[in-house]
Amino acid sequence: MSMRSELGESPRIVGQLLGASGQVEAVARAVRAREIDLAVIAARGTSDHAALYAQYILGARNGLLVAPAAPSLVSLYGAPPRLCNALVIGISQSGKSPDVVAVLAESRRQGALTVAITNDPASELAAAAEYLVELEAGEERAVAATKTYLAEIAVIAMLSAALSGDQKSQDELRAVPAALQAAVEQEAVVIPIAQAWARENRCAVLARGFHYATAREWALKLKELAYVLADPYSAADFQHGPIALITEGFPVLAVATSGPALEGMTELLGRVQNAGARLLVLSDVAALREFGDFVQLPPVPEWLSPLVAIVPAQLFAYHLARARGLDTEAPRNLSKVTLTL
């Protein structure tokens, strides 16, 4: 099974990226030289969730205002915003999405600092940008992206560390491959949980802060692979209306790790549990076992926790699909490369 094989490659791929950080360092030097304080990111699908992670990490750690590019402004409406003073990043595993390429090309025409993050250095996206950061993940055969998403968010974390320029960040990054391996080894815990959830056809997926990207990517994998109507929410937004969905047995998946969001997440999990929800929680905090099914995450600093949390989430989606008798290698109506204008 190529997808399961690719899931297991994450520790090696991230370790490889960390050992070849020259392209990321070059981008960081260019950002500092131009005194940039705005980043705009163009991405679609899974890569859009890497962009969401970038919004939080580059904002919280590096003081950058990060905005989505809204590619349709360029590709459909022909009304590009002024981007000449921005760092403009295009993220695409294939590097072929025409609307993302269009944003990079227009931004470079305006004189913006442009960066392509892609798994294909010969792609249109790579050619459109001034700087290229290769994911170096190798060919991804499975339709649902897994290892390339890990590589994308690893590159974003590396960029944050390079912009910070402190040794502590670099040391914390070097510990990530071992934590990823520990996350992969949680598969034995994940499999029986996925089998027990095989009849669920809907769920809410909750997280906050750095893990909002994790919630969205987890929900996407559940839709792609297991055909579950998975609706992702920021834990804050969930309380502004959608919490009314909770009835006895309603399935809720949550990511809640150590950090400023933990207290609020714990309180919310208590509320939905009291309302009768069926819960599955991914966390590095053992006390959260009390809420229901639980997968222990290896401890890492909060800014890096989305790298390890997504691994058991991907494994859950994979094994849920298999428990439902579905083909994880060929999800219906999907192809590996999606071209949007």
Q: Provide the whole-model pTM.
A: 0.95
pLDDT exceeds 60 at position 1: no
- pLDDT score of 332: 74
- pLDDT score of 330: 78
Boundary of a domain, candidates 143, 159, 174: 174
Label residue 141 by pLDDT band (50, 70, 90): confident
Angle between helices 10-18 and 147-164 (to 10 degrees): 30
Examine the domain organization and report whether 97 and 184 are in the same domain.
Answer: no
What value does the mean pLDDT of the chain take? 93
Domain span holding position 230: 178-323
Examine the domain organization and report whether 160 and 118 are in the same domain.
Answer: yes
106-115, 141-150, 190-199, range with the lowest pLDDT: 141-150
Report the distance separating Cα 229 and Cα 191, nearest Å.
20
Residue-by-residue DSSP string for 111-125:
T-EEEEEES-TTSHH
Examine the domain organization and report whether 261 and 308 are in the same domain.
Answer: yes
When pLDDT is averaged across residues 126-144 and rounded to a whole number, the result is 87
Examine the domain organization and report whether 148 and 218 are in the same domain.
Answer: no
The fraction of the chain above a pLDDT of 90, given in percent, is: 85
When pLDDT is averaged across residues 96-106 and rounded to a whole number, the result is 94
Domain count, the chain: 2
pLDDT exceeds 70 at position 21: yes
Per the model's pLDDT, the better-predicted residue between 140 and 117 turns out to be 117
pLDDT exceeds 60 at position 146: yes
- Whether residue 332 lies inside any domain: the answer is no
Label residue 336 by pLDDT band (50, 70, 90): low
44-48, 124-128, 297-301, range with the lowest pLDDT: 44-48
- pLDDT score of 250: 97
- Whether residue 134 lies inside any domain: the answer is yes
Examine the domain organization and report whether 210 and 292 are in the same domain.
Answer: yes
- Whether residue 338 lies inside any domain: the answer is no
Boundary of a domain, candidates 153, 174, 195: 174
Q: What single-letter DSSP state applies at residue 38?
A: E
- Whether residue 341 lies inside any domain: the answer is no
Report the distance separating Cα 224 and Cα 181, nearest Å.
24
Examine the domain organization and report whether 22 and 100 are in the same domain.
Answer: yes
- pLDDT score of 7: 84
Boundary of a domain, candidates 174, 194, 224: 174
Examine the domain organization and report whether 162 and 248 are in the same domain.
Answer: no
pLDDT exceeds 60 at position 337: no
- Whether residue 191 lies inside any domain: the answer is yes
Examine the domain organization and report whether 29 and 141 are in the same domain.
Answer: yes
52-61, 78-87, 212-221, 301-310, range with the lowest pLDDT: 78-87
- pLDDT score of 5: 86
pLDDT exceeds 60 at position 262: yes
Examine the domain organization and report whether 193 and 241 are in the same domain.
Answer: yes
SS3 20: coil
**Cα dist. 28→62, 157, 230, 274, 318 in Å?**
11, 12, 36, 47, 36
Examine the domain organization and report whether 137 and 276 are in the same domain.
Answer: no
Report the distance separating Cα 169 and Cα 187, nearest Å.
28
- pLDDT score of 20: 86
pLDDT, tens digit, for every residue of 194-233?
Answer: 999 999 999 999 999 999 999 999 999 999 999 999 999 9
Per the model's pLDDT, the better-predicted residue between 29 and 329 turns out to be 29
Report the distance separating Cα 221 and Cα 311, nearest Å.
11
- Whether residue 252 lies inside any domain: the answer is yes
> What CATH number has the domain bearing residue 133?
3.40.50.10490
Examine the domain organization and report whether 62 and 140 are in the same domain.
Answer: yes
**Cα dist. 305→73, 124, 227, 236 in Å?**
33, 32, 26, 19
| Half-sphere exposure at residue 280, Cβ-oriented, CA atoms within 13 angstroms | 23
- Whether residue 337 lies inside any domain: the answer is no
Examine the domain organization and report whether 211 and 300 are in the same domain.
Answer: yes
pLDDT, tens digit, for every residue of 83-94?
Answer: 999 999 999 999
- Whether residue 163 lies inside any domain: the answer is yes
